[in-house]
Copies of this chain bind each other. A is one copy, B any other.
Amino acid sequence: MAQKPQIIIIGAGFGGLLAAQTLAKADVEVTIIDRNNFHTFTPLLYQVATCALDASSVAYPVRSIFRDNHNVHFMLGDVTEIDHEGRSVTIKAGETSYQKWYDYLIFAVGSVTNYFGSKSAEEVAFGLKSAADAIRLRHHILRCFERAAWASDEQERDALTTLVAVGGGPVGLETAGALHELYNYVLKQEYDDRSPRLRARVILLEATDKLLAAYPASLQKSAAKQLESLGVEVLFNSMVEKVEPDSITLKDGRVIRTHTLVWSAGVKASPLVEKLDVTLNPKSARVPVEPTMQVIGRPHIYAIGDVAHLLDKKGQPYPMLIPAAMQQGELAGKNILRELANQPLMNFHYNDKGTMATIGRRRAVAWLYYKIELSGFLAWIVWLVFHLILLLGFRNRVVTFASWVWNYFTYDRSVRIIMDSEVTPRDNPATHRVPDPAPQDVVVAKA
């Protein structure tokens, strides 16, 4: 009996998962490799960061998803080498290295935060691309509030409770909105025992003169209006020049004192693309692929999602968005099966249903099929239903979704524990001292 065709999928994101689901019912052996044992539902990471959801609510064990598919295997580890001539992948799992051969490889490693070359931002700012990122940000915000509650220097206090998001795209908008809600509905009540009361500010920085660059002007304006109605300060034409642990300097010289900078200004293909040993597209730094999703010159390797560079009919690369990754993942799976069946391969056609962005509770904008413009409550409901459908696309999501809806509607923010030292260290020592301390008061001393 001939051995079944071996297919390796690197990356358990949306693209990799859809590819695996497409292949799961076929007569092939599939091995998914990821450095995490879970798939992350990234659209809700901002809710993990803002204490609304536990990480486990948006992170699903890959093994659970494929529990009933006995031809789908999972390996936890880091890919250290891809040998396209020998058709093998080397994986480091703990201290052990494994080499695994493939007939077809699906390369779906996704993207990382793009700091656009700013070293200081990379060191200090918080990305929001992974569950670990989200938990790190959550811990940091809570720690800042704890410090602010006892800080005696008023400027320092305000800096600790000033939260800045960079980037006027969908992620920046929803992060800024959620941060404001976290403060407004939860933290304000619990940190009001000190005098004067803590004042929290949420600021959104956008480099251009409008939010949501790809949207029509009416929705751009609506988004700005909805954000401001929430209480978020939107600063247009504001580019970050320098980031320090307790301040941001803008290009025009303005300084914002803050300890929390969330970087949602953009993403770029994962540095893992270099393991493929192909010439990347010089503009996008993504892997050039045929319309079949095969890597150019590497017919046994498919690249999909954020790492794949493919131009649409207008000559633009397909966007780094979840729906594109999912559809490409499905196509890669199908094309492998077609090749195994000696059928001609199919080309990618993007079924784009539009775009939307949520801006906190009961606020959103949606641009459906690039025709219908919605904003406010109606857009928010559409956003909700869309994410419900996406969530239910996987197994075992009902419980999760119920708890999510419950949290969302009850304003519950129960996930507010600070655990161990996961937080990226970015605190500078407080060196101020209150002169002439009165007994019964708190004295601040140098560490």
The interface of chain A, by Cβ under 8 A from chain B, is 3, 6, 36-38, 54-56, 59-61, 63-64, 67, 70, 72-76, 92-101, 131-132, 135, 142-143, 146-147, 149-151, 189-194, 396, 399-400, 403, 406, 410, 412, 414-420, 422, 427-430, 439-447
Contact = CB atoms under 8 A, between A and B. Distances in A.
Given A67-B189, A150-B75, A416 B95 contact: no
A99 B399 contact: no
Given A64-B190, A96-B447, A37 B146 contact: yes
Contacts of A447: 92, 95-97
B443 A99 contact: yes
| Number of chain copies forming the complex | 2
A75 B441 CA distance: 14
Contacts of A412: 399
A97 B416 contact: no
Contacts of A422: 420, 422
Contacts of A131: 417, 419
A399 B427 CA distance: 35
Nearest to A61: B416
A422 B445 CA distance: 32
A168 to B, nearest CB: 30
A143 B149 CA distance: 39
A247 to B, nearest CB: 17
Given A54-B56, A150-B93, A403-B403, A37 B99 contact: no
B98 A150 contact: yes
A447 B415 CA distance: 38
13 contacts: A56-B414, A63-B191, A74-B149, A75-B149, A92-B447, A94-B427, A96-B430, A96-B445, A97-B446, A98-B444, A101-B440, A132-B420, A135-B419
A414 B396 contact: yes
Contacts of A67: 189-190
Contact of A100 (B97, B147, B191, B442): B442
A102 to B, nearest CB: 9
A224 B330 CA distance: 52
A127 to B, nearest CB: 14
Nearest to A406: B399
Given A56-B414, A96-B430, A100-B442, 5 more contacts: A38-B417, A73-B194, A75-B150, A98-B443, A101-B439
A218 to B, nearest CB: 40
A93 B147 contact: yes
A94 B428 CA distance: 9
Contacts of A192: 70
A54 B414 CA distance: 11
A346 to B, nearest CB: 27
A48 B147 CA distance: 28
Contacts of A429: 94-96
